[in-house]
Structures are given as structure tokens and as C-alpha cells.
């Protein structure tokens, strides 16, 4: 980066060049200058050189991220009927919450989170989570944990060398291993060699099990939950049905977590702030008529399964997979929603035990899912 002295010198030289160019134009006039096209071209290029050079210098540290955003990406399809589901059918992620009662603090939560704040789909053609689907013969990778090794699963991690690393400070890596029916997720990841990684923390999820992480443990996410199962994915929207809860963030949370979360990510004790793991749903009265079919798939899922608060982040940021095939119209339609269109719900009625993600299915208040949602 330029230091203050260099920047001041550059600005001074540029202003001097502008003054000289202005004087030349005033004295000679445009009519006479047109007779010397080479001179005019040199003057124009000289004037443009300083700002363009400055922009390039500022962009250099971010070049990798800029090129990554420009790269087209088609997120891999995930076949949930292949014998490796994203958790059992009775898991809390896969359970309808449309008939659960609202949380008694719902109004307070919405007020502190921003009732007028626009909903933000945090995915599209240039941004969102990327993930890898691991081949059956993938080698085991060596992963060293630098921040929270005591709360990170030791392995084995079968993460391919070409697994995409999230650009930015979080550096997430998400890898789905259908052959072993496992999900590997890293936070603050960096590949340091062939099948060698460093990360701040890591978690392995057995996708056939309802077992939660140990009480108080983080994961690659603030709430100690998996990331990939809660993403809005292009292949699901294209299929016409999302049959699980989604993931979202908010800037400020309470120093607490509720089932199925396992970890807190804030220090505030303000009871008006939501806890990690708090579940929200789109109000049943919200009218989805007029939205595109793709957007209606997402809105129906938000009514049926809701979304789980998984980390501190942008306000009302709904997590999704990066994919070049997302239509801009879907993103703009979702931005029409506001925080007041949602309500917090009390999902404690679904809990069997605090250490399991299994959800009760014998509660009389739980009616069948919305027709057409294709819930198992």
C-alpha cells in the first residue's frame, strides 16, 4: 500500500499535470490541438495514468478475491436419496415447524434485529458458499488446528486439494463425502501442501446420525452446527422443493444457545437478543402470490421449516450456495421481505434429549406439512 508521503506526492504531481493540461488547452484551443492527435493522446493518457495506477495498487491485495468472484461456478448437485441423507428423516433440520407456537420473546427479538431491515439473500452468481463433493477414493488429508483444537474433531478428513476455500477472513471449507456419508467443515482453512491443511477449527458430521456435537463445542460455525445442510442450493430450488431448515445470521446475539445449537458466539446478556440456534419462520400470512416459481420454493421452505440462527453476521442474511445459474430476479424478489415478515418460534416441544438432533413426531400440535412440500 502507498504511505502518506507517497500518496501526497502522487496527488501533487497529478494536480500539476491537470494544471499544465488545462493551460495548454486554454492557450491553443481545441481546434488547433486537433492538428496534433499524438500530443492530445499523450496528455489524456498521462491524466488517466495516476488514478488508474492508484486503483490497481489498491486492488492488488484483493486480486485473488476479485478473480474468484468473476469465475463462473455451478454448484455440485447432491442426491439426498442416494443412501446418504443430510441427517435422518426425524432430525430437527428436516422437521416441519409451521404449527409450532411462537416464542414468547418473538416481538422483542424482531425489534432488536430490525423489523424494517430488508431480507438479504447472501448468495448469487458471484457470492455465496462453495462446496466440494468428495470422490470415493479420496485420500485422507492431514489437518492441523490452530485456534480451537480441543473442540475440533481429529479426523480423518477426506478433503480434496481442489476444495474451494471461502474468500475472506472466515475461510470456510465444506466437503460432502457421500461414500462415507460424512460432512467435513473447516473454519479459517488454508491448504499448505498436498493433502495438508491448516484451520482454526473443524468438525465432522455423521450424516446418518442425530448425534449433536459435545455441549459447548464450536464447529466451523458459531452455533456449533453444520453449514452445508442449511444452504439454499440451486439444485433443490430447481427440483421444486426444499425439505429442510435454512441457515441465517444476525449481527448481535445473546451469550447463550438453545437446542439444537451447541455453542454461543457473543458476550451480551441482553434478553431481547436471540440466542444461537433460535429458529424463525416466515409468517403464514405472508402472501407468496406474484413471486416467481423459484422464489416461491424458498418462501414455502421458510414457512414450513424456517431458518436457524447459526452465527453472527449480516442482518437477516440467508445463506446459500454460490451458483452462476441463479437468476437475478430471485435475489431481488427475496430482498422485498423485511424482518417483520418473520417470527421466532419455540422449538423446545420437538426436543427428545438435549444431546440429540432427533425431533419428536408424536406431538399432537404438529400437523402434516404443507401440501406440495414433498416432505417425507
pLDDT tens for each residue of 159-208 = 999 999 998 889 999 999 999 999 999 999 999 999 999 999 999 999 99
Cis before 260? omega within 30? yes
pLDDT for the residue numbered 368: 47
- pLDDT band at residue 4 using 50, 70 and 90 as cut-offs: low
Question: 261 lies in a domain?
Answer: yes
* pLDDT at position 280 over 50: yes
CA 196 centroid distance within chain = 25
* pLDDT at position 56 over 70: no
- pLDDT band at residue 10 using 50, 70 and 90 as cut-offs: low
Question: 24 lies in a domain?
Answer: yes
Helix, strand, or coil (residue 17) = helix
Instruction: Clarify whether residues 122 and 211 are in a common domain.
Output: yes
- pLDDT band at residue 141 using 50, 70 and 90 as cut-offs: very high
Question: 360 lies in a domain?
Answer: no
Instruction: Clarify whether residues 63 and 115 are in a common domain.
Output: no
Exposed, middle or buried: residue 298 (CB in 10 Å: 0-12, 13-18, 19+)? buried
Instruction: Clarify whether residues 34 and 179 are in a common domain.
Output: no
pLDDT for the residue numbered 97: 96
- Domain containing 284 equals 92-350
Chain-wide mean pLDDT for the chain? 87
349 or 376: which leads in pLDDT: 349
pLDDT digit string, tens, across residues 78-119: 876 568 999 999 999 999 999 999 999 999 999 999 999 999
* pLDDT at position 334 over 80: yes
* pLDDT at position 367 over 50: no
Instruction: Clarify whether residues 273 and 136 are in a common domain.
Output: yes
* pLDDT at position 263 over 60: yes
In whole angstroms, give the CA distance from residue 289 to residue 295.
10
77 or 130: which leads in pLDDT: 130
- pLDDT band at residue 373 using 50, 70 and 90 as cut-offs: very low
pLDDT digit string, tens, across residues 309-330: 999 999 999 999 999 999 999 9
Question: 372 lies in a domain?
Answer: no
* pLDDT at position 209 over 90: yes
Instruction: Clarify whether residues 213 and 256 are in a common domain.
Output: yes
Domain boundary among 70, 104, 121: 70
Instruction: Clarify whether residues 13 and 113 are in a common domain.
Output: no
Give the number of domains in the chain: 2
pLDDT for the residue numbered 30: 66
- pLDDT band at residue 374 using 50, 70 and 90 as cut-offs: very low
Question: 75 lies in a domain?
Answer: no
**Nearest CA to 224 among 278, 183, 260?**
260
pLDDT digit string, tens, across residues 238-257: 999 999 999 999 999 999 99
Instruction: Clarify whether residues 31 and 106 are in a common domain.
Output: no
Q: Which cell goes with 282?
A: 416466515
pLDDT for the residue numbered 321: 97
In whole angstroms, give the CA distance from residue 184 to residue 131.
10
**Nearest CA to 309 among 368, 266, 361?**
266
pLDDT for the residue numbered 70: 57
Question: 234 lies in a domain?
Answer: yes
CA angle 61, 65, 69 (to 5 degrees): 150
Instruction: Clarify whether residues 113 and 243 are in a common domain.
Output: yes
Instruction: Clarify whether residues 138 and 99 are in a common domain.
Output: yes
- Mean pLDDT across 281-301: 97
Question: 326 lies in a domain?
Answer: yes
Q: Which cell goes with 306?
A: 424456517
**What percent of the chain is predicted at pLDDT more than 90?**
71
Domain boundary among 70, 103, 127: 70
Instruction: Clarify whether residues 54 and 100 are in a common domain.
Output: no
Instruction: Clarify whether residues 188 and 308 are in a common domain.
Output: yes
Question: 299 lies in a domain?
Answer: yes
Instruction: Clarify whether residues 329 and 205 are in a common domain.
Output: yes
What global pTM score does this model have? 0.79
Amino acid at each position: 500500500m502507498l504511505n502518506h508521503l507517497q500518496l501526497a506526492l502522487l496527488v501533487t504531481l497529478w494536480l500539476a499535470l491537470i494544471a499544465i493540461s488545462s493551460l495548454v488547452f486554454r492557450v491553443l484551443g481545441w481546434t488547433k490541438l486537433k492538428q496534433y492527435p499524438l500530443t492530445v493522446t499523450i496528455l489524456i493518457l498521462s491524466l488517466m495514468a495516476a488514478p488508474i495506477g492508484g486503483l490497481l495498487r489498491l486492488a492488488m491485495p484483493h486480486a485473488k478475491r476479485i478473480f474468484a468472484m468473476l469465475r463462473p461456478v455451478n454448484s455440485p448437485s447432491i442426491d439426498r436419496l442416494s443412501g446418504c441423507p443430510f441427517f435422518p428423516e426425524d432430525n430437527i433440520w428436516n422437521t416441519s415447524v409451521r404449527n409450532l407456537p411462537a416464542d414468547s420473546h418473538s416481538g422483542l427479538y424482531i425489534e432488536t434485529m430490525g423489523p424494517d431491515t430488508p431480507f438479504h439473500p447472501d448468495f448469487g452468481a458471484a457470492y455465496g458458499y462453495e462446496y466440494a463433493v468428495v470422490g470415493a477414493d479420496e485420500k485422507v488429508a492431514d489437518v492441523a488446528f490452530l485456534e480451537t483444537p480441543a473442540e475440533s474433531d481429529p479426523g480423518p478428513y477426506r478433503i480434496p486439494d481442489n476444495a474451494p476455500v471461502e474468500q475472506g477472513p472466515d475461510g470456510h471449507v465444506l466437503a460432502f463425502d457421500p461414500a462415507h456419508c460424512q460432512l467435513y467443515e473447516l473454519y479459517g482453512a488454508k491448504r499448505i501442501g498436498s493433502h495438508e491443511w491448516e484451520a482454526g477449527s473443524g468438525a465432522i458430521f455423521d450424516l446418518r446420525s442425530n448425534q449433536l456435537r459435545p455441549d459447548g463445542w464450536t464447529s466451523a460455525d458459531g452455533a456449533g452446527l453444520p453449514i452445508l445442510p442449511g444452504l439454499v442450493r440451486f439444485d433443490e430450488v430447481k427440483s421444486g422443493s426444499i425439505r429442510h431448515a435454512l441457515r441465517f445470521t444476525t449481527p448481535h446475539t445473546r451469550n447463550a444457545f438453545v437446542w439444537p445449537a451447541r455453542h454461543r458466539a457473543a458476550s451480551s446478556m441482553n434478553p431481547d437478543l436471540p440466542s444461537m440456534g433460535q429458529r424463525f419462520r416466515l409468517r403464514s400470512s405472508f402472501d407468496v402470490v406474484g413471486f416467481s416459481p423459484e422464489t416461491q420454493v424458498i418462501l414455502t421452505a421458510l414457512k414450513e421449516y424456517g431458518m436457524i440462527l447459526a452465527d453472527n453476521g449480516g442482518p437477516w442474511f440467508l445463506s446459500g450456495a454460490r451458483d452462476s445459474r441463479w437468476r437475478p430476479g430471485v435475489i431481488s424478489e427475496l430482498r422485498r421481505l423485511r424482518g417483520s415478515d418473520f417470527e421466532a418460534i419455540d422449538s423446545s416441544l420437538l426436543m427428545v434429549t438435549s444431546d440429540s438432533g432427533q425431533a419428536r413426531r408424536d406431538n399432537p400440535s404438529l400437523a402434516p406439512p404443507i401440501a406440495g412440500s414433498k416432505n417425507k
